[in-house]
Amino acid sequence: MQCNSVHVQGVFTGRCGTSLDHGVVAVGYVTDEDGNDYWLVRNSWGADWGEAGYIRMKRNVTARTGKCGIAMEAKYPVKDGPNPIPAPPSPVVPQACDRISPSPSCYPSLALSSSPVVPSVCAPAGALKPKPWGLGLRCRAAEEASMPARGNAPLKVMISGAPASGKGTQCRMIVEKYGLVHISTGDLLRAEVSSGTEIGKKAKEYMGSGKLVPDQVVTDMVVSRLSQPDVQERGWLLDGYPRSFSQAQSLESLKIRPDIFIVLEVPDDILINRCVGRRLDPVTGKIYHVKNFPPENEEISARLITRSDDTFEKVKSRLDTYKQNSEAILPAYSDFLNQIDGNRPVEVIFQEIDSLLQKICENTSANKLIKANGKSPASVDTGSKNEWRGIPTRLNNIPHSREIRKYFYDDVLQATKRAIEDKKTRLQIDINIPELNPEMDVYRIGTLMELVRELSLSFADDGKRVKVCVQGSMGQGAFAGIPLQLAGTRKILEFMDWGDYGAKGTFINIGAVGASEVDKEDDMFVLIAPQNAVGNCIIDDMRAMTDAAGDRPVILVNPRLKDMPGSSGVMQTMGRDMRLKYAASFETCYSFRLLYYAGSFYPIMGALRMAYPNKYEIYRRVDEPDGKEKYALIAEFTDKPTPDDITSAFKGRKKDDEKAPSGFWGFLSGIL
């Protein structure tokens, strides 16, 4: 709030950051007569600050963090119990307030506070038109029938993990942040038995005789809990259930499906160490670990005991049982499955889970908005050839407009996604518009970075972990360095805006080119303009990286892998065939380049485009009488056309009838 210390009056809409170092209390939310939505916020710096100690903070901003990060760490009470019996009406008539005042006669504060006591405040008379929008992070279908379409239904989460995988800790953190109802079959069994319900009585019979409770009984118990009002309102977190294929089938038959199925993956040796190393203090009931969390003193150490189920044999048996159950049920949830590396710090694991859950909320909002506009989400895809809207015009106008850049970003993205859906794993994008042509003075590295960001974020939105790679310095001595085209790229990537939900560091990571950059958790790799430099060849590093990546997709964006001069002339001929073969192993999923007159970049003659899985298309630029222009399709080729093919297309005759290109049309020979 330091940035607002000089704000005196009105709704605050100015610039501020999201680096939190101070707590405030949101005591009201208002839409004033001018239609401005704002939070009424009380600070702790006294009446000389802001408007008598308060500030009106703009509400319903597009950022999920809220204005100045007000929604980032919101704390609020949740009411679960029944409503109290209404008290008799007060004979006191509330006073109208013409300015913000701490008078208790004004409207009461709202339940969004990190303070045990929230004072009452008032707003301008006649301005109390609440539009509940909430600082809470829970996904909700609706607060009231009259509120605008908010977008998000209650979250439904399943989580699974082997013994000692840290599942319990992550469940606690999820519940604390999202307010979900935590449902564990062990807790349910104990509660049902204790309450003496019909299900509890059945379970008690089996448990009393030492038998496992049948799947159907457990499923009935879970379904009964899922039908309760608090679960319907707040959403649910199913912990360690279903555990068998029949349980999963029972839920599916009832159309009970999660939004996400989280599996914590931890190596067996780590899990066994965590369990076998645990020790119980019989006096306090506290759990220690001989290595990770040793006792405070020798006295406690002397009385520690090993729990009966923490022996190596029993832990190994529990792990084997867990694996058998997982192998049986995971295929049923493959569409919702997200496997997360659980052998990391607790906070890092939760950051990744948190990003996944936030994206589910955002995607639900987007889908509902699309449906409200009369379209289903599936109809938005612009991938098919029939829906493509044609090449944009005025491509020699620099800088390119936002609309032109967005057109190419979307065109590239849809083609790349279709190729990956068809199980293509070695892909190449070649896009050569003026701002992405390093041979032109108008080349902009920022446009290339923006393309990479849009591509990576889209795959991250689908739950993929993307490694964005830019080659580092190569060579030694006079030949040390990186290509000029890539200078500063790594810094730009580090400081770029990667979205509001914390994608960078969780779903998107920045790396270099090489086998050592391939991590187990990476799902795909985007290499930015990999290229040979004078005296150095990047292909060996690329080959090592793709070998390490295995069947995971590797996407090259505007590669330049032609031979360059070496320290003693041209690159060695030794291995050249292998280099060319490797470069050719990448399949082009998108290609676009403008065609010009010989020796110039003006005027534009036409364009060559290919968007997977369509053919290569040649377009002629046509000037229209009204001063506008258009691109007319004149030829299609299954394979990439040669310069002779393109020349023949422009001349309107078959290649077989054409002599070697020369003169006016020779310009095409040097660019393809």
Question: Of 138, 167, 279, 444, which is the active-site residue?
Answer: 167
Active-site hit among 307, 323, 375, 576? 307
Residue with structure tokens 């009106």?
Answer: 56
* CA proximity to 143, closest of 153, 132, 135: 132
Beta carbons within 8 Å of 621's beta carbon, 6+ residues apart = 603, 604, 605, 606, 607, 629, 630, 631
Decide: residue 606, CB within 10 A, 0-12 exposed, 13-18 middle, 19+ buried: buried
In our burial notation (b when 16+ CB lie closer than 10 A, e otherwise), range 576-588 reads eeebeebbeebeb
To the query of whether residue 278 is one of the catalytic residues in this protein, the response is yes
Q: For residues 340 and 486, is the Cβ–Cβ distance under 8 A?
A: no
Q: Which of 140, 278, 405, 609 is catalytic?
A: 278
Q: Does the active-site annotation cover 99?
A: no
Greatest alpha-carbon pair distance for the chain in Å reads 101
Write the CB contacts of 58 (distance below 8 Å, at least 6 apart in sequence): 11, 12, 13, 36, 37, 38, 39, 67
Going by C-alpha positions, the residue among 563, 521, 565 that lies closest to residue 539 is: 563
Distance between CA atoms of 611 and 454, rounded to whole angstroms?
17
Distance from C-alpha of 333 to C-alpha of 338, rounded to nearest angstrom: 10
In one-letter notation, the amino acid at residue 365 is S
Helix %, strand %, coil % of the chain (to 5): 35, 20, 45
Which of these, 378, 362, 429, 435, lies nearest to 405 by C-alpha position? Answer: 435
Q: Name the residue among 350, 330, 332 with its Cα closest to residue 340.
A: 350
Is residue 190 annotated as part of the catalytic site, yes or no?
A: no
Of 59, 140, 234, 318, the catalytic one is 318
Dihedral, CA of residue 433, residue 437, residue 443 and residue 444, to nearest 10? 70
Burial class (CB in 10 A: 0-12, 13-18, 19+), 16: middle
Helices 402-421/445-461 angle, 10° precision: 50
Catalytic residue among 140, 156, 225, 243: 243
Structure token pair of residue 608: 């060559």
> Which residues does the annotation mark as catalytic?
167, 243, 278, 307, 318
